[in-house]
């Protein structure tokens, strides 16, 4: 096959203001949606051709959902003549030229929106980065599902009890919503699924460890929610380690800060994220966690026509969140909607509107009939909270088909106690420990 030489992006000049969006996450999609019909040209760059609903990645990893039910193609989401998608990665921004370089060529912009999210933060621990499993993409979740199922298939064939136990034990690092929800989902596999699938194994030997460096789970939520989440997990036999941090991991032995050691061949890292700054932006604009500093309009400091939103940005001017907004979907979506409006206002030479985050609350689920919800003036736990969690996530999915399949999967799982997507989609040697 001839080698493809990427020299241009094949984006026509329509004679309209061109807005380039880097990243098709929650914030990037809101920018594109807000610009639809505005007589502008919108160009979206992403290294994947789909939007991924990250809050449900853990359900794909634990066989609860099919991967196709939480992803949606960009080209299907936006189908106007003024919208262009290019599969590629932005490698450099040249602000003085209003130009970006990408893996598929270069292109000029009138306005630029950095919405490339964040990546897993291993805090400089190279051994952990090499051996632990992140949970940021649909590829990560499928890989984890492959490993979980293959571990049990391999343990079943082993006559070495220590080796088999190391395959059946799982360590999750990070007590935020992702870690808590993943621990609960693994516990449900242990309680309801694996005893039927692997009758020859002693499933009681399966240990699930959740490690959190601070004194409590779900930092950012209420003390009541934190205590209830801990209670739920402990009732499901999850071993929670508070005030504990990972010091090293060689793929087999995990050493904690207090000197304790755990043995597991599968460690899932959900302990934090860091920004992914694009080359070309002035280094002085980078704040904590590799996030780009922005003003109250989400403009990158020092630039008039470059914006940054969501996990990629840190705004220190919001009175309600002086240290920056939480790195979750709601702030990114609200910022994306306002940035789209402000770009249209800039084009029309109108004053910009400042961003103020409307915090509608937080929630997490810990399995069937177990969830915690903190909303403004309202807190609840248990079954009612679980239904709220399901409803909010269901309506947030893109596409009727995805909503239908997720609802059907949840309905079936609730009454059957089954997680049907227990598939290894990989080559026979992939994920072998």
Beta bridge partners of 172: 210, 268
> What are the structure tokens assigned to 162, written together?
């220590």
> What are the structure tokens assigned to 157, written together?
């064939």
Residue 30: phi and psi, rounded to 5, are -65, -35
| pLDDT of the residue at 85 | 96
Other CB atoms within 10 A of residue 39 CB: 11
Phi-psi region at 248: left, alpha or beta (left = phi > 0; alpha = psi -120 to 50): beta
β-pairing, 208-211 with 238-241? parallel
Angle (CA) 133 130 240, round 5°: 45
For residues 161-181, give the mean pLDDT: 96
Q: Is 321 exposed, middle or buried (0-12, 13-18, 19+ CB in 10 A)?
A: middle
Q: By C-alpha distance, which of 403, 307, 395 is closest to 355? A: 307
For the chain, percent of residues with pLDDT exceeding 70: 97
Is residue 56 within 8 Å of residue 365, measured between CB atoms? no
Confidence tier at 3 by pLDDT (50, 70, 90): very low
Among 54-68, 129-143, 146-160, 320-334, which stretch is predicted with the lowest mean pLDDT?
A: 320-334
Whether 234 is a known active-site residue: answer: no
pTM for the full predicted model: 0.92
Among 114-123, 192-201, 213-222, 282-291, which stretch is predicted with the lowest mean pLDDT?
A: 282-291
Beta bridge partners of 266: 170
Q: Considering 30, 181, 188, 212, which one is annotated as catalytic?
A: 181
pLDDT tens for residues 42-67?
Answer: 999 999 999 999 999 999 999 999 99
Largest CA distance in the chain: 74
User: How far is C-alpha 209 from the chain's CA centre?
Assistant: 21
Placement of tokens 């080559």 in the chain: 427
pLDDT(6) > 70: no
Contacts of 140 (CB under 8 A, 6+ apart): 57, 61, 133, 134
User: How far is C-alpha 105 from the chain's CA centre?
Assistant: 28
CA distance 46 to 238: 37
CA distance 186 to 167: 14
pLDDT tens for residues 85-101?
Answer: 999 999 999 999 999 99
Q: Which helix (H) or strand (E) holds 380?
A: strand 378-381
| pLDDT of the residue at 426 | 76
pLDDT tens for residues 302-323?
Answer: 999 999 999 999 998 788 888 8
CA distance 93 to 100: 4
For residues 215-226, give the mean pLDDT: 96
Among 32-46, 223-237, 276-290, 403-417, which stretch is predicted with the lowest mean pLDDT?
A: 276-290
| pLDDT of the residue at 382 | 97
For residues 172-191, give the mean pLDDT: 97
pLDDT tens for residues 399-432?
Answer: 999 999 999 999 999 988 888 788 898 777 665 5
Residue 279: phi and psi, rounded to 5, are -55, 140
Among 108-112, 253-257, 423-427, which stretch is predicted with the lowest mean pLDDT?
A: 423-427
Is residue 185 within 8 Å of residue 62, measured between CB atoms? yes
| pLDDT of the residue at 429 | 65
pLDDT(165) > 70: yes
Is residue 389 within 8 Å of residue 364, measured between CB atoms? yes
pLDDT(5) > 70: no
| pLDDT of the residue at 80 | 85
Q: Which helix (H) or strand (E) holds 50?
A: strand 50-52
What is the DSSP track for 317-374? Answer: --TT-TT---SSHHHHHHHHHHHHHHHHHHHTT-PPPPP------EEEE-STT-EEEE
Confidence tier at 283 by pLDDT (50, 70, 90): confident
Confidence tier at 288 by pLDDT (50, 70, 90): confident
Taking 3-state DSSP, the helix, strand and coil percentages for the chain, each rounded to the nearest 5, stand at 35, 25, 40
CA distance 171 to 128: 12
Contacts of 420 (CB under 8 A, 6+ apart): 63, 409, 412, 413
Mean of per-residue pLDDT scores for the chain: 93
Residue 132: phi and psi, rounded to 5, are -80, 160
pLDDT(1) > 70: no
For the chain, percent of residues with pLDDT exceeding 90: 85
């Amino acid at each position: 096959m001839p080698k493809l030489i990427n020299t241009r992006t094949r984006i026509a000049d329509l004679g309209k203001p061109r807005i380039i969006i880097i990243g098709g996450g929650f914030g990037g999609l809101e920018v594109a949606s807000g610009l639809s019909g505005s007589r502008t040209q919108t160009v979206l760059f992403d290294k994947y051709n789909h939007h991924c609903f990250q809050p449900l990645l853990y359900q794909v990893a634990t066989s609860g959902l099919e991967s196709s039910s939480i992803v949606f193609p960009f080209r299907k989401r936006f189908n106007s003549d003024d919208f262009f998608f290019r599969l590629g990665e932005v490698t450099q921004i040249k602000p003085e030229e209003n130009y970006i370089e990408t893996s598929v060529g270069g292109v000029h912009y009138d306005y630029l929106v950095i919405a490339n999210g964040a990546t897993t933060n291993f805090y400089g621990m190279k051994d952990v980065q090499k051996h632990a499993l992140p949970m940021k993409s649909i590829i990560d979740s499928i890989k984890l599902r492959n490993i979980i199922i293959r571990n049990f298939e391999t343990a079943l064939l082993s006559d070495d009890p220590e080796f088999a136990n190391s395959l059946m034990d799982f360590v999750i690092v990070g007590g935020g919503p992702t870690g808590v929800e993943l621990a609960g989902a693994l516990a449900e596999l242990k309680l309801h699924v694996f005893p039927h699938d692997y009758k020859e194994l002693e499933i009681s030997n399966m240990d699930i460890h959740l490690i959190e460096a601070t004194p409590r789970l779900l930092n950012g939520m209420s003390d009541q929610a934190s205590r209830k989440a801990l209670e739920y997990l402990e009732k499901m036999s999850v071993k929670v380690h508070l005030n504990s941090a990972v010091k090293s991991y060689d793929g087999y032995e995990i050493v904690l800060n207090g000197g304790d050691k755990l043995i597991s061949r599968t460690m899932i890292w959900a302990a934090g994220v860091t920004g992914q700054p694009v080359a070309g932006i002035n280094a002085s604009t980078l704040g904590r966690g590799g996030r780009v500093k922005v003003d109250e309009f989400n403009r990158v400091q020092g630039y008039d026509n470059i914006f940054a939103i969501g996990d990629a940005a840190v705004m220190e001017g919001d009175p309600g969140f002086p240290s920056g907004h939480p790195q979750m979907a709601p702030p990114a979506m609200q910022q994306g909607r306002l940035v789209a409006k402000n770009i249209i206002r800039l084009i029309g030479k109108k004053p910009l509107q400042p961003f103020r985050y409307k915090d509608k609350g937080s929630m997490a689920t810990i399995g069937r009939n177990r969830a915690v919800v903190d909303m403004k003036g309202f807190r609840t736990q248990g079954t009612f909270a679980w239904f709220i969690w399901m409803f909010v996530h269901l309506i947030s999915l893109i596409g009727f088909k995805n909503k239908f399949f997720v609802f059907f999967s949840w309905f079936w799982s609730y009454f059957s106690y089954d997680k049907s997507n227990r598939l290894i989609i990989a080559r026979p040697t992939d994920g072998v420990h």
